[in-house]
Amino acid sequence: MEEDVSKNTIGVADPEKEREIVARLERVPFKGMMVVYVLTLGMAVLFDFANDMSLSYVAPTLQENLGFTVDNIAFLVSTTLFGTVVGAWLGGRIADRVGRMRVLRWSLFIGSAGTMSFALIDGVAVFVVLRFLSGVALGALYIVAITYLIEISPRAQRNARTAFVGFFGTASVVVISAFARVVVPLGDYGWRLVFIFGGVGLLFLLPMKLMPESPLWLVSRGRNADAEAAMQALERGHDLPEYTPERLDQAASPTPAGAASAARTDEADEVRPGKYVDLFRGRLVVPTSLLMALWTLYIFVAVSFNVWLPTMLSLRGFSTEQLLTISFLGTIGQPVGALSMIVITRFIRRWIAMCVVSAIGILAAFVFATTSVTVVLSIAAFMMMFTFGAFVPLANLTTAEEYPAALRASGAGFTYGFGRLVNVAGPFLISTILAAVGAAAVSWLLAAIWAAVAVIALAIRFRPGPRIYIADAEEDQVRTGVPEPKGATV
């Protein structure tokens, strides 16, 4: 074992140690403390999303009790959005520099404590400042949580685990809306309880304290001794056979050992220790560009449909009761979509699943544009929301696996944050279309964008040129022409 280096020093990454860690991760089963780790990440994401949406459910009460204007609320929403963009960018970059767990713990603390502090505030100015700071924490937590989850998961379980954690994020809508429905009508203090509820996320700092740092990130920083300790923590309690290097090729690599080693060495020489500018040059410029486009288009569809669904239905003549019923039935589709990916990705490849989900989105938009039957529209809304819940874990994993460990959180944070930033202009585009052409035109636009999403997914999968991290065994065969040995995983 190599001598450990200072935590403040970037060491030289060891490709062989990295391959060893990848192989040993394949042996760690989903039981014991691993279940605790994944559940902790899921609950952290649930409260992350719930705290992000909490303002929506108390906005009318803030106007009534504190005299906030509509412009004040709009500014708070924009401040939160900008904060999450900054958080995704900074959080991802900081996580690549100082570690995943530090950023996760501080993000959970600042996001939960910041949301809870809103219960003590009456003034707009302080509210805006704290909302921005908590937004930064909320944006950072999600990106880093998904990155960490992928880095401690066997390849065959990455889809299922990201979908499982994604389910918690989609379920947050139900949790926060139900809680607000109960406490807001209680009196003048009801809205404060919604924000205090956000502080429950602080309870998950304790199990998070038990979670080891990502061994893959530690290896990328040249900290082999720390990586070994983190790997042993993940293996502890599973009664695994002693690991020997001879198992490496059978456990970790579908390519010949020499070729894999050479590829890793070349990769280390090119991208480590992980400069931010590396996202936009060399091998990474194409995937970064494609992922920026993927996230921009997906977020546009998701935000547009979620925000404008009641308005589009109202413009088409549906009553308040009808549009609320359709909207409610639609929201159920998101958690169902996330959970479905746990099963579906066991049978079809991720890039095929992304195309199937896009096709469902196109069909849902077509139905939504061409019918006025309430039941059919409810099914279409469910289908569209289903695609949102299903697509996110697929896109998260695709994004993370396009980058080496030294830049993984930076790449994920930048591409996701870019998509959110560009979509600040999305609502203005939709409002213009609604006023000029009508609701049906919006549906056709969403169908066209889902088609573009499928094209980009295919471009990511089949793009020419060298790759750094390969998503699955089929792609390894495409790249190398070497069939995957039976039972081999990476």
Per residue in 360-384, pLDDT (tens digit) is: 999 999 998 898 888 999 999 999 9
Q: What is the pLDDT of residue 35?
A: 93
What's the farthest any 2 CA atoms get from each other in the chain?
71
Residues 199 and 298 in one domain: no
More confident residue, 477 or 273: 273
Residues 51 and 150 in one domain: yes
Which stretch of 167-171, 250-254, 321-325, 331-335 has the lowest confidence by average pLDDT? 250-254
How many DSSP H helices and E strands does the chain contain? Answer: 21, 0
Containing structural domain, residue 113: 31-209
Q: CB–CB of 78/424 below 8 Å?
A: yes
Would you say residue 339 lies in a domain? yes
Residues 78 and 166 in one domain: yes
Would you say residue 223 lies in a domain? no
Would you say residue 254 lies in a domain? no
Q: Helix, strand, coil shares of the chain as percentages rounded to 5?
A: 80, 0, 20
Calpha distance 356→199 (Å, rounded):
38
Q: What is the pLDDT of residue 355?
A: 95
Q: Which of 149, 179, 209 is the last residue of a domain?
A: 209
Which residues lie below 8 Å from residue 312, measured CB to CB, with a gap of 6+? Answer: 434, 439, 442, 443
Q: Which of 178, 209, 240 is the last residue of a domain?
A: 209
Residues 326 and 437 in one domain: yes
Residues 314 and 430 in one domain: yes
Q: What is the pLDDT of residue 251?
A: 45
More confident residue, 269 or 103: 103
Residues 289 and 414 in one domain: yes
Stretch 157-172: mean pLDDT: 88
pLDDT of 149 above 90: yes
pLDDT tens-digit series, residues 426-476: 777 888 888 888 888 889 999 999 999 999 999 998 887 655 554 443 343
pLDDT tens-digit series, residues 60-80: 778 777 788 877 777 787 788
Q: Two tokens at 255?
A: 């390519």
Residues 422 and 325 in one domain: yes
Q: CB–CB of 150/400 below 8 Å?
A: yes
Calpha distance 314→301 (Å, rounded):
19
- Model confidence at 13, pLDDT cuts 50, 70, 90, reads low
Q: How many domains does the chain have?
A: 2
Q: CB–CB of 430/310 below 8 Å?
A: no
Q: Which of 209, 227, 246 is the last residue of a domain?
A: 209
Q: Two tokens at 486?
A: 């039976």
Q: What is the CATH number of the domain that holds 402?
A: 1.20.1250.20
Q: Two tokens at 159?
A: 């889809």
pLDDT tens-digit series, residues 290-347: 999 999 999 999 888 887 788 788 888 888 778 878 888 888 898 999 999 988 888 8
Compute CA distances 42 → 54, 259, 334, whole Å. Answer: 18, 37, 15
Alpha helices in 318-471 (DSSP H): 320-331, 333-344, 350-370, 374-400, 408-422, 426-436, 439-462
Q: What is the pLDDT of residue 135?
A: 87
Residues 285 and 414 in one domain: yes
Q: What is the pLDDT of residue 473?
A: 38
Residues 198 and 317 in one domain: no
Would you say residue 388 lies in a domain? yes
Would you say residue 379 lies in a domain? yes
Residues 204 and 282 in one domain: no
Would you say residue 288 lies in a domain? yes
Residues 191 and 283 in one domain: no
Would you say residue 351 lies in a domain? yes
As a whole number, the mean pLDDT across the chain is 81
DSSP E strand boundaries for 65-152: none
Q: CB–CB of 327/415 below 8 Å?
A: no
Residues 180 and 301 in one domain: no
Would you say residue 365 lies in a domain? yes
